[in-house]
Amino acid sequence: MNTIHPNLFAQLMRLPAGIRVDLLEFLGATPVEDAQLRQMLAEAISRTQPSNPELNVAA
């Protein structure tokens, strides 16, 4: 069983529920390296954030 780096897991858990469930199912069925997961998360985050940077809220 592969483990997910805690920071990557935290990013994953902040995604909207639908995307999060899909990624968790994928991760449960497929071995994924941290670099691959980091890339998938970056893409998912970019798709869920508003395209206008002025609308982004600082965390």
How many structural domains comprise the chain?
Answer: 1
| Unique residue bearing structure tokens 């970019």 | 46
- 48 compared with 58, residue with greater pLDDT: 48
Confidence of residue 59 (pLDDT cuts 50, 70, 90): very low
- Residue 1 belongs to some domain of the structure: no
pLDDT tens per residue, range 17-53 = 999 999 999 999 999 999 999 999 999 988 887 654 5
Question: Which two three-digit tokens encode residue 16?
Answer: 């909207």
Report DSSP letters for 1-59, one per residue. Answer: -----HHHHHHHHTS-HHHHHHHHHHHHHS---HHHHHHHHHHHHHHHS-SSGGGPPP-
Q: Is the pLDDT of residue 55 over 70?
A: no
At residue 48, the pLDDT reads: 85
- Residue 24 belongs to some domain of the structure: yes
Question: CA 51 from chain center: how many Å?
Answer: 18
* φ/ψ of residue 42, rounded to 5: -60, -40
Which residues span the domain enclosing 47?
A: 6-55
